[in-house]
Structure 1
């Protein structure tokens, strides 16, 4: 029978694909040459044997030949007539034996974990490559332990695949959108990969519900809506709120600020504020007191909605730009002086 591949992987002859993967993962990590610098020769031999066993048993055709004819059948060491329908070529018309070409152990290892560098790009540390093909010293005990604990004994991967960096897009909103809330539709195109590995471009409409009171810098994340690539988790698509300037109002946190231009006469004798709010209402507020340059009228509850407290709003703060006359006649000056100094 030669080598017992089932015994090497410590699995039953009825082992399924998941059983083989679990066994290979455990043993390959244990016997990788860079994990065993003090016992490298034996580790290399065991690592190659483990890889060969997995290569054979995970391939239906190789496994069928092995189960029927053993290692000798795989390596062309049984008579042609014993090999039945299995043939690997012809030397003159007659059937020949199955020819098994063992795969490179490092290729199997990197293919199994989905990356050329098995730990997502940390591999090239500048050291000379060992017999396994990976740089010396890249597999420390701490590194192996962290990947084992992170993946779990029964998981399908030793480590989490690398995830692409988020893709950030600006979502322009006017102040009315952020005051009342709105729904925006965003059309995106991205590459997706089917089960055969073929990549196609698809278009998709994303719906963004902008909530009343959201601020500039608010992020809306659509998980894994970036391009799909083999062995890499797609990037998150992140929309970031940006507030367009408004012709009347400015935002200050949850408050709205507006500046009204008034004359000196209005500042001294009284003024009536008339505004159209962001939701279209007409707002009228009479001011009977004297308006100084630093005066600010605060109208409670007429500011921006507060997202975490939908029933509450900030304030509307009205500031004033008082227009002073550019010149006064002597009569005007005398009259004003008399007026302001009279008891």
Structure 2
């Protein structure tokens, strides 16, 4: 194709420079097209940043790539420069403050040409869940787990097909006089930039579950992931997954159990045996005269605690949380209290008896029936048609009983 006007020489030089550089890697890192809007780029970045954050078990190096790509593509001036000249143009122009802190080619390609890398990249981490009982998290435990990984055999050599880049560029004609530049992983080295022999290795690791560890906490074995040429091996992370316990519920270093008391126990005292997580028999007993309420102020559950009987604190197992007890008081059912018992209860229970004076000849005495609060507002005749029976006579309203 022929250039137009006096700017043809400058345009040719830029085209020649761009033909050998990558202008798609940053878009591929964020998983968007080159035509993506600023809003689409921002949305893709947020989604990837949450998914691959190191605190959630994500790969730290890939997380840095995501941030560097977004930092460049979210700046319209830098994005334009990258679209024309690739990463070379950004580095020669100074790049951005965050992205310039690490060599861009080392970050995305592991170094190119005569560029010096700040150090070998680190491979991806491997995460394995480990289901752990609450007893093991209380007492501590060592678990032996086997992992299979890939290790290198002998020396690795630079792939001649991609010159160690791991990526190859292809020009594909899409129309008359128009070509498209496509970047893909090198098929000879599978995108690693190096060729070498590999073998499988089985390694048994001793995973130490420390006292007081939290759910989703990591036990890290550095450099025990798959080996890759010219890269530092990633870590093997064992992620603690706390199993549910049939008696205790845990939050931080505190434990919670639920206990249902009879009205007699709530008023007169109680004692019950609890098998703790370390095998001790703990007797939880009320104090003389202590009364357990049906509920706390504001309708909240009534709770008491046993100090220092919770979980060990991770890092300082001698300091423990508290053991909370959530109480429910079960009142007697109809017919369980005899008239003779009522007289005794009135004698000993505090508070005045609910008695009132009335004239038996004029006052009307009524009694209570079972009811459902959901039926409130549904009494009486609800519509005009139901006000009369099948014979046309007015029907008398009936009380709803359950």
TM-score range (shorter-chain normalised) is: 0.5 to 0.7
1:137 alignment counterpart: 85
Asked if 2 retains the 8 angstrom alpha-carbon contact of 1:120 and 1:162, the reply is no
> Separation in 1 of the partners of 2:230 and 2:248?
49
Q: CA deviation at 1:180?
A: 0.6
The answer on 1:307 being equivalent to 2:314 is yes
The answer on 1:261 being equivalent to 2:260 is yes
Q: CA deviation at 1:176?
A: 0.6
- Identify if the C-alpha distance between structure 1 residues 341 and 40 changes in structure 2 by more than 3 Å, giving closer, same or farther: closer
The two structures have a TM-score, normalised by structure 2, of: 0.48
Q: CA deviation at 1:323?
A: 1.9
> Separation in 1 of the partners of 2:252 and 2:27?
47
The answer on 1:322 being equivalent to 2:329 is yes
CA RMSD of aligned residues (A): 3.8
Per-residue CA shift, 1:290-313, capped at 9, x if unaligned? 111344332111111112323211
The answer on 1:272 being equivalent to 2:271 is yes
Give 5+ residue unaligned stretches, structure 2. Answer: 1-9, 36-82, 107-113, 156-195, 296-301, 353-402
Asked if 1 retains the 8 angstrom alpha-carbon contact of 2:103 and 2:117, the reply is yes
Q: Alignment partner of 1:195: what SS?
A: strand
Q: CA deviation at 1:252?
A: 1.9
Q: CA deviation at 1:254?
A: 0.8
2:247 alignment counterpart: 248
Per-residue CA shift, 1:244-267, capped at 9, x if unaligned? 011111112111111122211111
- Identify if the C-alpha distance between structure 1 residues 271 and 185 changes in structure 2 by more than 3 Å, giving closer, same or farther: same
Per-residue CA shift, 1:265-294, capped at 9, x if unaligned? 111100113211111111123203111134
> Separation in 1 of the partners of 2:245 and 2:320?
19
1:51 alignment counterpart: none
1:178 alignment counterpart: 137
Asked if 1 retains the 8 angstrom alpha-carbon contact of 2:23 and 2:84, the reply is no
> Separation in 2 of the partners of 1:278 and 1:250?
12
> Separation in 2 of the partners of 1:195 and 1:121?
31
Per-residue CA shift, 1:69-115, capped at 9, x if unaligned? xxxxxxxxxxxxxxxxxxxxxxxxxxxxxxxxxxxxx8xxxxxxxxx
Q: Please list, as runs of the form range in 1=range in 2, the aligned pairs for 1:68-79 lying within 5 A after superposition.
A: none
1:237 alignment counterpart: 236
Q: Alignment partner of 2:345: what SS?
A: helix
Aligned length: 227
2:283 alignment counterpart: 284
The answer on 1:340 being equivalent to 2:299 is no
Asked if 1 retains the 8 angstrom alpha-carbon contact of 2:24 and 2:34, the reply is no
> Separation in 2 of the partners of 1:123 and 1:341?
77
Asked if 2 retains the 8 angstrom alpha-carbon contact of 1:119 and 1:159, the reply is no
2:374 alignment counterpart: none
> Separation in 1 of the partners of 2:128 and 2:24?
27
Q: Please list, as runs of the form range in 1=range in 2, the aligned pairs for 1:164-175 lying within 5 A after superposition.
A: 164-175=123-134
- Choose between structure 1 and 2: higher helix proportion: 1
Q: Please list, as runs of the form range in 1=range in 2, the aligned pairs for 1:23-172 lying within 5 A after superposition.
A: 121-122=25-26, 137-138=85-86, 139-140=88-89, 141=92, 142=94, 157-172=116-131
2:223 alignment counterpart: 224
Asked if 2 retains the 8 angstrom alpha-carbon contact of 1:250 and 1:256, the reply is yes
Give 5+ residue unaligned stretches, structure 1. Answer: 1-36, 45-105, 107-116, 128-134
> Separation in 1 of the partners of 2:115 and 2:327?
67
> Separation in 2 of the partners of 1:148 and 1:252?
44
> Separation in 1 of the partners of 2:232 and 2:23?
14
Q: Alignment partner of 1:321: what SS?
A: strand
Q: Alignment partner of 2:238: what SS?
A: strand
Q: Alignment partner of 1:137: what SS?
A: helix
Asked if 2 retains the 8 angstrom alpha-carbon contact of 1:147 and 1:158, the reply is no
- Identify if the C-alpha distance between structure 1 residues 40 and 150 changes in structure 2 by more than 3 Å, giving closer, same or farther: closer
